[in-house]
Amino acid sequence: MRKKLLAVAFAFLFIFTTYISIFSLGLKDTQEFKAVPLPYAYDALEPFISKEIMTYHHDKHYQTYVDNLNKALANYPKYQSYSLEKLLKNLDSLPKEIYTPVKNNAGGVYNHEFFFSIMTPSKTAPSGELKKAIERDFGTYNNFMDQFKKAASSVFGSGWAWLVSDCDGKLSVITTANQDSPISNNLTPIICIDLWEHAYYLQYKNNRAYYIDNWVNVINWKKALENYTNVIQ
């Protein structure tokens, strides 16, 4: 009798744990957006961007956008399968109740992933077709950099400055507010700088111009060339 009870108990335990495992797997949404790790160490961009900034920026601010995007889409499985790009290029097709949270948080995720990818501890410089296009569309590299820094300094409140390309490979410098992204306007980002206070305040305090001057030292021009090549190919 005791053996029979034990067998029933084990059987029950087996069924229960199996059920819990399957149930948990069912709840685990494989379509959820996941934070992408930094492609370099947190302190890799020092002295230009501190380890403390990169840690908070990636692990807290960026992660929050990922979490809030998943929350916004929790009851909309159709849109969970969309890429960030597809969401941001089709904002007007979203149900109106998730338009703003998706715009802000998909934008926040996309912009930050792009921003982290366009920085590097390695010293790089414009080259190839991108260098030629900068000289064609801005006259000289220095003219481009002046325009980029001026645009970055002009952003009121929180936002971004970008070097973007249209579908014909024509370059321009633009700014966006909040977490708006150029891809929503059919423009391809080549480089960008985050101008939210969380991107610089811990190190540069209120001196945004000093942050901008220092930040340009970590631009990943190799990655920028890849971004541009993808447009003109």
Per CB under 5 A, residues contacting Fe ion are 194, 196, 199
As measured in angstroms, the least distance from the Cβ of 166 to Fe ion is 25
Count other C-beta atoms under 10 Å from residue 168's C-beta: 7
Minimum distance of Fe ion from residue 54's CB (angstroms)? 11
Instruction: Name which of 180 and 194 has its Cβ closer to Fe ion.
Output: 194
130/151 with CB nearer Fe ion: 151
Nearer to Fe ion, 119 or 231 (CB): 119
Nearest distance in Å: CB 108, Fe ion: 8
Measure the CA angle with vertex 15, ends 11 and 16; round to 5°. 115
Minimum distance of Fe ion from residue 110's CB (angstroms)? 12
Q: Virtual CA dihedral for 21, 25, 26, 32, nearest 10 degrees?
A: 160
Per-residue b/e over 13-31, b at no fewer than 16 CB within 10 Å?
eeeeeeeeeeeeeeeeeee
SS3 content of the chain, % helix, strand, coil (to 5): 60, 10, 30
CB of 201 to Fe ion, least distance (A): 11
Task: Please say which residue, 82 or 196, places its beta carbon nearer to Fe ion.
Answer: 196
Residue whose CB is nearest to Fe ion in the complex, by number: 194
Distance between CA atoms of residues 68 and 35, nearest Å: 12
- CB-nearer residue toward Fe ion: 60 or 136: 60
What size, in residues, is the chain?
233
